[in-house]
Amino acid sequence: MSVSNGRAFLAIPGPTTVPDEVLRAMHRPAIDLYSGDHLELTQGLLADMPKLFRTTGRAYIYASNGHGAWEAALANVLSRGDKILTLPSGIFATGWGDVAEAMGAAAEALPGDWHSPVDPQKLEDRLRKDEAGEIKAILVAQVDTASSVANDIAAIRAAIDAAGHDALLLVDAVASLATMPCEMDAWDVDVAVTGSQKGLMTPPGLSFVAANDKARERRRMNANLVTRYWDWTFRDGNEHYMKYCGTPPEHLLFGLRTALDMIFSEGVANVIERHRILADAVRAAVERWVEGGALSFNITDPACRANSVTTVRTNGFNPKALLDYAREKCGVTLGIGIGGTEDTAFRIAHMGHVNAPMVLGTLGVIEAGLKALDIPHGKGGVEAAIDSLSQAVKP
Protein backbone atom coordinates (compact mmCIF):
# COMPACT_ATOMS: atom_id res chain seq x y z
CA MET A 1 0.00 0.00 0.00
CA SER A 2 1.15 3.53 -0.81
CA VAL A 3 -0.36 6.91 0.00
CA SER A 4 1.96 8.86 -2.28
CA ASN A 5 -0.54 10.07 -4.87
CA GLY A 6 -1.25 13.78 -4.51
CA ARG A 7 1.21 16.64 -4.83
CA ALA A 8 4.74 15.25 -4.56
CA PHE A 9 6.99 17.08 -2.09
CA LEU A 10 10.58 17.80 -2.97
CA ALA A 11 12.57 18.15 0.25
CA ILE A 12 16.01 18.02 -1.38
CA PRO A 13 18.50 20.89 -1.16
CA GLY A 14 18.28 21.82 -4.81
CA PRO A 15 16.70 21.90 -7.18
CA THR A 16 13.95 23.13 -4.89
CA THR A 17 10.20 23.50 -5.39
CA VAL A 18 9.44 25.95 -8.20
CA PRO A 19 6.34 28.07 -7.45
CA ASP A 20 3.45 27.78 -9.92
CA GLU A 21 3.76 31.54 -10.57
CA VAL A 22 7.36 31.06 -11.73
CA LEU A 23 6.41 28.13 -13.96
CA ARG A 24 3.58 30.16 -15.48
CA ALA A 25 5.88 33.11 -16.16
CA MET A 26 8.04 30.83 -18.29
CA HIS A 27 5.16 29.52 -20.34
CA ARG A 28 5.32 32.03 -23.17
CA PRO A 29 6.95 32.50 -26.56
CA ALA A 30 10.56 33.60 -26.91
CA ILE A 31 11.10 37.32 -27.50
CA ASP A 32 13.47 39.41 -29.58
CA LEU A 33 16.81 39.72 -27.83
CA TYR A 34 17.52 43.17 -29.27
CA SER A 35 14.40 45.09 -28.35
CA GLY A 36 12.81 47.05 -25.54
CA ASP A 37 11.16 44.40 -23.37
CA HIS A 38 14.26 42.33 -23.09
CA LEU A 39 16.54 45.26 -22.38
CA GLU A 40 14.23 46.28 -19.58
CA LEU A 41 14.15 42.73 -18.18
CA THR A 42 17.95 42.58 -18.14
CA GLN A 43 18.31 46.02 -16.58
CA GLY A 44 15.89 45.09 -13.82
CA LEU A 45 17.63 41.80 -13.04
CA LEU A 46 21.10 43.34 -13.04
CA ALA A 47 19.82 46.03 -10.66
CA ASP A 48 17.99 43.60 -8.37
CA MET A 49 20.58 40.85 -7.93
CA PRO A 50 23.07 43.12 -6.12
CA LYS A 51 20.23 44.08 -3.75
CA LEU A 52 19.88 40.44 -2.76
CA PHE A 53 23.63 40.06 -2.29
CA ARG A 54 23.53 43.39 -0.42
CA THR A 55 26.28 45.00 -2.42
CA THR A 56 26.81 48.18 -4.37
CA GLY A 57 29.06 46.10 -6.65
CA ARG A 58 28.03 44.49 -9.93
CA ALA A 59 26.22 41.24 -10.61
CA TYR A 60 26.72 39.00 -13.63
CA ILE A 61 24.22 36.46 -14.91
CA TYR A 62 25.40 33.23 -16.53
CA ALA A 63 23.54 30.47 -18.33
CA SER A 64 25.11 27.81 -16.11
CA ASN A 65 24.70 25.96 -12.85
CA GLY A 66 26.60 26.72 -9.65
CA HIS A 67 29.74 25.02 -10.93
CA GLY A 68 29.76 27.58 -13.74
CA ALA A 69 29.54 30.43 -11.22
CA TRP A 70 32.51 28.91 -9.36
CA GLU A 71 34.50 28.94 -12.59
CA ALA A 72 33.36 32.46 -13.46
CA ALA A 73 34.51 33.83 -10.11
CA LEU A 74 37.92 32.16 -10.32
CA ALA A 75 38.52 33.00 -13.98
CA ASN A 76 38.10 36.72 -13.37
CA VAL A 77 40.40 37.11 -10.36
CA LEU A 78 43.18 34.49 -10.68
CA SER A 79 46.22 33.93 -12.82
CA ARG A 80 47.91 30.66 -13.71
CA GLY A 81 49.90 29.32 -10.77
CA ASP A 82 48.19 31.54 -8.17
CA LYS A 83 47.81 30.00 -4.76
CA ILE A 84 44.38 29.82 -3.15
CA LEU A 85 43.24 28.67 0.28
CA THR A 86 40.00 26.72 0.68
CA LEU A 87 38.17 26.56 4.01
CA PRO A 88 36.45 23.15 4.07
CA SER A 89 33.47 22.48 6.36
CA GLY A 90 31.82 19.80 4.21
CA ILE A 91 32.45 19.28 0.51
CA PHE A 92 31.72 22.50 -1.31
CA ALA A 93 34.79 24.63 -0.55
CA THR A 94 36.91 21.63 -1.54
CA GLY A 95 34.89 21.14 -4.73
CA TRP A 96 35.42 24.79 -5.61
CA GLY A 97 39.15 24.38 -4.92
CA ASP A 98 39.25 21.36 -7.25
CA VAL A 99 37.80 23.54 -10.01
CA ALA A 100 40.54 26.13 -9.32
CA GLU A 101 43.23 23.43 -9.55
CA ALA A 102 41.82 22.18 -12.84
CA MET A 103 42.04 25.75 -14.14
CA GLY A 104 45.70 26.10 -13.22
CA ALA A 105 45.72 27.49 -9.67
CA ALA A 106 47.36 25.78 -6.69
CA ALA A 107 44.88 24.97 -3.93
CA GLU A 108 45.66 24.44 -0.27
CA ALA A 109 42.97 23.38 2.21
CA LEU A 110 42.84 24.71 5.76
CA PRO A 111 42.20 21.63 7.91
CA GLY A 112 38.52 21.46 8.89
CA ASP A 113 35.87 18.88 9.62
CA TRP A 114 32.30 17.96 8.77
CA HIS A 115 30.78 18.69 12.15
CA SER A 116 31.70 22.28 12.79
CA PRO A 117 32.17 25.57 10.98
CA VAL A 118 35.45 27.00 9.75
CA ASP A 119 37.59 28.11 12.70
CA PRO A 120 38.52 31.80 12.15
CA GLN A 121 41.48 31.54 14.55
CA LYS A 122 43.03 28.74 12.47
CA LEU A 123 42.56 30.88 9.38
CA GLU A 124 44.21 33.88 11.02
CA ASP A 125 47.16 31.73 12.14
CA ARG A 126 47.62 30.33 8.64
CA LEU A 127 47.46 33.75 7.00
CA ARG A 128 50.00 35.23 9.43
CA LYS A 129 52.49 32.63 8.18
CA ASP A 130 51.99 33.77 4.59
CA GLU A 131 54.33 36.71 4.94
CA ALA A 132 55.05 36.82 1.20
CA GLY A 133 51.33 37.17 0.45
CA GLU A 134 51.29 34.13 -1.82
CA ILE A 135 47.65 33.31 -1.12
CA LYS A 136 45.59 35.27 -3.62
CA ALA A 137 42.07 34.13 -2.75
CA ILE A 138 40.19 32.43 0.08
CA LEU A 139 37.24 30.19 -0.84
CA VAL A 140 34.45 29.33 1.58
CA ALA A 141 30.84 28.14 1.42
CA GLN A 142 28.54 30.19 3.66
CA VAL A 143 26.27 27.16 3.99
CA ASP A 144 27.82 23.83 3.10
CA THR A 145 24.89 21.85 1.78
CA ALA A 146 26.53 18.49 2.55
CA SER A 147 27.23 19.07 6.24
CA SER A 148 24.49 21.71 6.73
CA VAL A 149 26.88 24.00 8.58
CA ALA A 150 26.43 27.77 8.49
CA ASN A 151 29.78 29.54 8.47
CA ASP A 152 30.26 32.94 10.09
CA ILE A 153 31.47 35.01 7.15
CA ALA A 154 31.88 38.19 9.23
CA ALA A 155 34.20 36.31 11.59
CA ILE A 156 36.16 34.93 8.63
CA ARG A 157 36.60 38.45 7.26
CA ALA A 158 37.69 39.64 10.71
CA ALA A 159 40.34 36.89 10.80
CA ILE A 160 41.69 37.94 7.39
CA ASP A 161 41.85 41.56 8.52
CA ALA A 162 43.46 40.65 11.85
CA ALA A 163 46.22 38.88 9.91
CA GLY A 164 46.56 41.98 7.72
CA HIS A 165 46.23 39.77 4.64
CA ASP A 166 45.29 41.04 1.18
CA ALA A 167 43.72 37.87 -0.31
CA LEU A 168 40.30 38.21 -1.90
CA LEU A 169 37.40 36.62 0.00
CA LEU A 170 35.22 34.50 -2.30
CA VAL A 171 31.98 33.19 -0.82
CA ASP A 172 29.74 30.43 -2.16
CA ALA A 173 26.23 31.61 -1.26
CA VAL A 174 24.44 28.97 -3.36
CA ALA A 175 22.64 27.44 -0.38
CA SER A 176 22.38 30.61 1.69
CA LEU A 177 21.23 33.51 -0.50
CA ALA A 178 17.58 34.33 0.24
CA THR A 179 17.54 31.83 3.11
CA MET A 180 19.98 33.39 5.60
CA PRO A 181 21.45 36.88 5.94
CA CYS A 182 24.01 37.57 3.20
CA GLU A 183 25.71 40.93 3.72
CA MET A 184 28.29 41.13 0.99
CA ASP A 185 29.41 44.73 1.57
CA ALA A 186 29.05 44.77 5.35
CA TRP A 187 31.16 41.59 5.56
CA ASP A 188 33.57 42.90 2.92
CA VAL A 189 33.13 39.87 0.68
CA ASP A 190 34.89 40.47 -2.64
CA VAL A 191 33.05 37.91 -4.76
CA ALA A 192 29.87 35.96 -3.98
CA VAL A 193 28.23 33.31 -6.15
CA THR A 194 24.85 31.64 -6.25
CA GLY A 195 22.58 29.54 -8.46
CA SER A 196 18.94 29.85 -9.49
CA GLN A 197 17.69 26.52 -8.14
CA LYS A 198 17.90 26.87 -4.37
CA GLY A 199 16.72 29.87 -2.39
CA LEU A 200 15.82 31.65 -5.62
CA MET A 201 13.03 29.15 -6.44
CA THR A 202 13.84 29.16 -10.17
CA PRO A 203 14.65 26.09 -12.28
CA PRO A 204 18.33 25.12 -12.52
CA GLY A 205 20.33 26.74 -15.31
CA LEU A 206 21.15 30.27 -14.15
CA SER A 207 23.98 31.36 -11.94
CA PHE A 208 25.07 34.68 -10.54
CA VAL A 209 28.34 36.23 -9.51
CA ALA A 210 28.52 39.49 -7.57
CA ALA A 211 31.84 41.33 -7.50
CA ASN A 212 33.01 44.42 -5.65
CA ASP A 213 35.45 47.02 -7.00
CA LYS A 214 38.51 45.28 -5.56
CA ALA A 215 37.64 42.04 -7.38
CA ARG A 216 36.86 43.85 -10.61
CA GLU A 217 40.18 45.65 -10.35
CA ARG A 218 41.92 42.25 -10.14
CA ARG A 219 40.17 41.30 -13.36
CA ARG A 220 41.50 44.42 -15.07
CA MET A 221 45.04 44.20 -13.71
CA ASN A 222 46.21 40.65 -13.95
CA ALA A 223 43.71 37.81 -14.08
CA ASN A 224 45.01 35.70 -16.94
CA LEU A 225 42.81 32.66 -16.37
CA VAL A 226 39.84 34.46 -17.87
CA THR A 227 38.11 33.21 -21.01
CA ARG A 228 35.56 35.08 -23.07
CA TYR A 229 32.39 33.46 -21.76
CA TRP A 230 33.07 34.27 -18.09
CA ASP A 231 34.74 37.63 -18.68
CA TRP A 232 33.26 40.47 -16.61
CA THR A 233 34.89 43.13 -18.80
CA PHE A 234 33.16 41.80 -21.90
CA ARG A 235 29.88 41.57 -20.03
CA ASP A 236 30.27 45.19 -18.90
CA GLY A 237 30.08 46.13 -22.60
CA ASN A 238 27.18 48.21 -23.86
CA GLU A 239 25.52 45.82 -26.29
CA HIS A 240 22.70 43.77 -24.81
CA TYR A 241 23.99 40.42 -26.12
CA MET A 242 27.25 41.05 -24.25
CA LYS A 243 25.46 40.84 -20.89
CA TYR A 244 24.99 37.12 -21.59
CA CYS A 245 27.85 36.65 -24.06
CA GLY A 246 25.28 35.50 -26.62
CA THR A 247 21.58 34.65 -26.64
CA PRO A 248 20.04 35.19 -23.19
CA PRO A 249 18.44 32.18 -21.44
CA GLU A 250 15.12 34.00 -21.85
CA HIS A 251 12.68 31.63 -20.20
CA LEU A 252 14.79 31.18 -17.12
CA LEU A 253 15.01 34.96 -16.91
CA PHE A 254 11.20 35.25 -17.12
CA GLY A 255 10.96 32.80 -14.25
CA LEU A 256 13.65 34.57 -12.24
CA ARG A 257 11.88 37.92 -12.65
CA THR A 258 8.74 36.48 -11.07
CA ALA A 259 10.72 34.73 -8.32
CA LEU A 260 12.49 37.98 -7.41
CA ASP A 261 9.17 39.83 -7.43
CA MET A 262 7.82 37.24 -4.99
CA ILE A 263 10.90 37.58 -2.74
CA PHE A 264 10.76 41.39 -2.75
CA SER A 265 7.02 41.47 -2.15
CA GLU A 266 7.38 39.14 0.84
CA GLY A 267 10.40 41.22 1.90
CA VAL A 268 13.92 39.76 2.05
CA ALA A 269 13.98 40.05 5.85
CA ASN A 270 10.69 38.15 6.07
CA VAL A 271 11.93 35.47 3.69
CA ILE A 272 14.97 34.99 5.92
CA GLU A 273 12.82 34.94 9.06
CA ARG A 274 10.46 32.38 7.48
CA HIS A 275 13.46 30.14 6.83
CA ARG A 276 14.64 30.53 10.42
CA ILE A 277 11.24 29.68 11.88
CA LEU A 278 10.78 26.63 9.65
CA ALA A 279 14.36 25.48 10.31
CA ASP A 280 13.73 25.80 14.05
CA ALA A 281 10.67 23.56 13.64
CA VAL A 282 12.74 20.95 11.79
CA ARG A 283 15.44 21.09 14.44
CA ALA A 284 12.86 20.74 17.22
CA ALA A 285 11.64 17.50 15.63
CA VAL A 286 15.14 16.13 15.05
CA GLU A 287 16.08 17.07 18.64
CA ARG A 288 13.31 14.75 19.81
CA TRP A 289 14.14 11.93 17.40
CA VAL A 290 17.82 11.82 18.37
CA GLU A 291 16.79 10.79 21.90
CA GLY A 292 16.37 7.26 20.50
CA GLY A 293 20.12 7.03 19.78
CA ALA A 294 19.86 5.93 16.13
CA LEU A 295 20.00 9.49 14.73
CA SER A 296 22.09 12.56 15.45
CA PHE A 297 22.63 16.08 14.18
CA ASN A 298 25.62 16.31 11.88
CA ILE A 299 26.46 19.80 13.15
CA THR A 300 27.29 19.66 16.83
CA ASP A 301 26.80 23.29 17.85
CA PRO A 302 23.12 24.31 17.51
CA ALA A 303 24.18 27.90 16.76
CA CYS A 304 26.03 26.77 13.62
CA ARG A 305 23.23 24.87 11.88
CA ALA A 306 22.02 26.21 8.55
CA ASN A 307 18.47 27.50 8.09
CA SER A 308 18.20 25.99 4.60
CA VAL A 309 19.07 22.32 5.14
CA THR A 310 19.55 19.89 8.03
CA THR A 311 21.90 16.90 7.73
CA VAL A 312 20.92 14.01 9.99
CA ARG A 313 23.42 11.22 10.71
CA THR A 314 22.21 7.65 11.01
CA ASN A 315 24.13 5.69 13.61
CA GLY A 316 24.69 2.12 12.49
CA PHE A 317 21.96 1.86 9.86
CA ASN A 318 21.64 2.76 6.19
CA PRO A 319 19.11 5.56 5.63
CA LYS A 320 18.07 4.15 2.25
CA ALA A 321 15.03 2.30 3.58
CA LEU A 322 13.78 5.47 5.27
CA LEU A 323 14.26 7.57 2.13
CA ASP A 324 12.55 4.91 0.00
CA TYR A 325 9.64 4.77 2.42
CA ALA A 326 9.24 8.55 2.40
CA ARG A 327 9.31 8.74 -1.41
CA GLU A 328 7.51 5.61 -2.54
CA LYS A 329 4.98 5.22 0.24
CA CYS A 330 4.34 8.85 1.13
CA GLY A 331 5.41 11.09 -1.79
CA VAL A 332 8.21 13.04 -0.07
CA THR A 333 11.68 13.04 -1.61
CA LEU A 334 14.37 13.63 1.01
CA GLY A 335 18.01 14.45 0.27
CA ILE A 336 20.60 11.69 0.32
CA GLY A 337 23.89 12.16 2.13
CA ILE A 338 26.59 13.31 -0.29
CA GLY A 339 30.38 13.36 -0.32
CA GLY A 340 30.83 9.90 1.16
CA THR A 341 27.91 10.00 3.61
CA GLU A 342 25.44 8.21 1.31
CA ASP A 343 25.15 5.29 3.76
CA THR A 344 25.32 7.29 6.97
CA ALA A 345 23.25 10.45 6.54
CA PHE A 346 20.19 11.99 4.97
CA ARG A 347 19.21 15.60 4.51
CA ILE A 348 16.00 17.51 5.06
CA ALA A 349 15.86 20.61 2.90
CA HIS A 350 13.81 23.61 4.03
CA MET A 351 14.87 26.06 1.37
CA GLY A 352 13.10 28.39 -1.06
CA HIS A 353 9.38 27.99 -1.69
CA VAL A 354 8.51 26.28 1.62
CA ASN A 355 5.82 26.89 4.17
CA ALA A 356 4.49 25.33 7.36
CA PRO A 357 2.42 22.49 5.83
CA MET A 358 5.29 21.46 3.57
CA VAL A 359 7.68 21.28 6.52
CA LEU A 360 5.19 19.70 8.92
CA GLY A 361 4.16 17.23 6.23
CA THR A 362 7.75 16.27 5.54
CA LEU A 363 8.49 15.85 9.25
CA GLY A 364 5.31 13.81 9.71
CA VAL A 365 6.33 11.46 6.91
CA ILE A 366 9.82 11.00 8.37
CA GLU A 367 8.32 10.21 11.75
CA ALA A 368 5.89 7.73 10.16
CA GLY A 369 8.86 6.12 8.42
CA LEU A 370 10.86 5.88 11.64
CA LYS A 371 7.88 4.11 13.22
CA ALA A 372 7.07 1.85 10.27
CA LEU A 373 10.70 0.75 9.96
CA ASP A 374 11.20 0.28 13.71
CA ILE A 375 14.06 2.75 13.84
CA PRO A 376 14.60 3.78 17.46
CA HIS A 377 13.63 7.43 17.94
CA GLY A 378 12.31 9.74 20.61
CA LYS A 379 8.56 10.19 20.16
CA GLY A 380 6.81 13.47 19.56
CA GLY A 381 9.09 15.03 16.97
CA VAL A 382 6.22 16.51 14.98
CA GLU A 383 4.59 17.74 18.16
CA ALA A 384 7.83 19.47 19.11
CA ALA A 385 7.89 21.09 15.66
CA ILE A 386 4.32 22.27 16.18
CA ASP A 387 5.24 23.70 19.59
CA SER A 388 8.15 25.54 18.06
CA LEU A 389 6.01 26.93 15.23
CA SER A 390 3.15 27.95 17.47
CA GLN A 391 5.54 29.89 19.70
CA ALA A 392 7.21 31.63 16.75
CA VAL A 393 4.07 32.42 14.77
CA LYS A 394 1.49 34.29 16.84
CA PRO A 395 -2.07 35.11 15.78
Ligand X SMILES: *Cc1c(COP(=O)(O)O)cnc(C)c1O
Q: Which is nearer to ligand X, 110 or 290 (CB)?
A: 110
Nearest Cα to Cα of residue 323 among 292, 359, 362: 362
In the complex with ligand X, which residue's Cβ is closer, 192 or 284? 192
Instruction: Identify which of 145, 142, 143 has the alpha carbon closest to the alpha carbon of residue 156.
Output: 142
Reduced 3-state DSSP string for 133-178? CCEEEEEEECEECCCCEECCHHHHHHHHHHCCCCCEEEEECCCCCC
What secondary structure letter does DSSP report for 91? Answer: S
Distance of closest approach, residue 96 Cβ to ligand X, in angstroms: 7
**Max CA separation in the chain (angstroms):** 66
H/E element holding 349? strand 345-349
CA 316 to chain centre: 29
* Positions in the binding site for ligand X (CB under 6 A): 14, 65-67, 92, 141, 145, 172, 174-175, 195, 204
User: 51 vs 67, which CB is nearer to ligand X?
Assistant: 67
What whole-number distance in Å separates Cα of residue 208 and Cα of residue 135? 25
- Select 145 or 202, whichever has its Cβ closest to ligand X: 145
State the minimum distance, in angstroms, from the CB of residue 95 to ligand X.
7
- Shortest spacing between CB 94 and ligand X, in angstroms: 11
DSSP 226-252: --TTT-HHHHTSSSGGGGTTSS--HHH
Minimum Å distance from CB 67 to ligand X?
4
One-letter amino acid identity for 320? Answer: K
Q: Which residue is nearest to ligand X (CB)?
A: 66
76/94 with CB nearer ligand X = 94
Q: How far is the CB of 174 from ligand X (least distance, A)?
A: 4
Tell me whether residue 69 or residue 322 sits nearer to ligand X (CB atom): 69
CB of 349 to ligand X, least distance (A): 10
